[in-house]
Amino acid sequence: FDMFVLAFVERLFRPTYKKDDFVLGKKLGEGSFGVVYRVSLANKPSSKEGDLVLKKATEYGAVEIWMNERVRRACANSCADFVYGFLESSSKKAAEYWLIWRFEGDSTLADLMQSRDFPYNVETLILGEVQDLPKGLERENRIIQTIMRQILFALDGLHSTGIVHRDIKPQNIIFSEESRTFKIIDLGAATDLRVGINYIPKEFLLDPRYAAPEQYIMSTQTPSAPSVPVATALSPVLWQLNLPDRFDIYSAGLIFLQMAFPGLRSDNSLIQFNRQLKRCDYDLVAWRKTIEPRCGPELRKGFEMLNLDGGIGWELLKSMVRYKARQRLSAKAGLAHPYFDREGLLALSFMQ
């Protein structure tokens, strides 16, 4: 009850917006369920490029607003700063949901990973300066470790709140320039299993490149339903049984893999990897046995990095990318994994 009163009071004192308050800027993205623009407030022309982001969404926007409202109350640091969401039905077009966030920065992890300079470009962003240190595996490992820690931290926040994201991928992880950390975006496919708002499992929305083999989270418990949020009152017990959060862990494991192996960063090579792993019955050790003896430098480098410190990185990867959800680590357990015992990036800047 208190939670709802608080939510109501909080809502009452926050600014509310309508369509005409915004000036549209550059288009940032376009999916099948919405278009994303950089925008600024009409009465605040000082912010020339626009310090906000607007998503004009279809009917699925209702759930995305709900998820963002919940995140900003329960685990605000996990995701991009949500400002406001509303139903826009003033024009003749079909009604749209408008969602507003603070503009967090220019780069997603996908953008950063495409650069030849990855992961050093991320080191510069996080530390705010270029490091005058010799490049090498050890240093790259520490940068990647820092990124993984931030991703798991954000996921732990979501999962502790009862939200499974279901679309974790580098394109949905944004670097927040203000906090100098990675945050999660795009809660369009997310589901909240504790409170009972359970979306129709939109399997068709899931990105097959990053989806865990189980793919259809809870779909056996959830009858197909109309395209509105349905309260199904799923209990925490069911959460415990099915471990739906481990779906995101698998996706995060694939991101770890792509960061470690330059040869797996492109879409095509990831798709090929998925095929190979499936052929190995999702056994990463078996995959390694078939690949390592005949692999080129782009893959060998990944194995070398994961072998550092007694193979602790490989150990972590293995405990995230597993066929059975219950054998994968939780985000919280992941953060406690010895891979993260080594000091990360910030320690690196004091080493000079």
Q: What is the dihedral of CA 162, 163, 164, 165, to 10 degrees?
A: -160
Measured distance CA(99)–CA(81) in Å, rounded? 11
Contact 145, 342 (CB under 8 A): yes
Q: Which stretch binds Mg ion (CB under 5 A): 102-110, 166-174, 230-238, 314-322?
A: 166-174
**Of 48-56, 152-160, 180-188, 330-338, which segment contacts Mg ion by CB under 5 A?**
180-188
Question: Judged by CB under 6 A, does residue 63 bind ligand ADP?
Answer: no
Q: Is 80 in the site for ligand ADP (CB under 6 A)?
A: yes
For residues 182-213, one letter each, b for 16 or more C-beta atoms within 10 angstroms of the residue's C-beta and e for the rest, the string is: bbbbbbbbbbbbbeebbbbbbeebbeeebbbe
**According to CB under 6 A, which one of 31, 196, 213, 311 is a site residue for ligand ADP?**
31
- How many whole angstroms separate alpha carbon 44 and alpha carbon 226? 40
Measured between alpha carbons, how far is 287 from 182 in angstroms, rounded to an integer?
A: 30
State the nearest-atom distance from the C-beta of 30 to ligand ADP, in Å.
6
Can residue 62 be called a binding residue for ligand ADP (CB under 6 A)?
no
Q: Is 167 a catalytic residue?
A: yes
The rounded distance, in Å, linking the Cα atoms of 212 and 247 is: 6
Per CB under 5 A, does 186 bind Mg ion? yes
Query: 106, 117, 132, 167: which one is catalytic?
Result: 167
Token output for 107: 């780069």
Residue 264 lies near ligand ADP (rule: CB under 6 A): no
222 scored as a contact of ligand ADP (CB under 6 A): no
- Min dist CB 340 to ligand ADP, Å, is 27
Q: 30 vs 117, which CB is nearer to ligand ADP? A: 30
- Binding segment toward ligand ADP, per CB under 6 A, in 23-31, 218-226, 228-236, 319-327: 23-31
CB neighbour list of residue 244: distance below 8 Å, 6 or more residues apart: 164, 191, 193, 217, 218, 325
* Rounded distance between C-alpha atoms, residue 195 and residue 74, angstroms: 13
Binding site for Mg ion (CB under 5 A): 172, 186
- Catalytic positions: 167
Binding site for ligand ADP (CB under 6 A): 28-29, 31, 33-34, 36, 53, 55, 80, 101, 103-105, 108, 171-172, 174, 185-186, 188
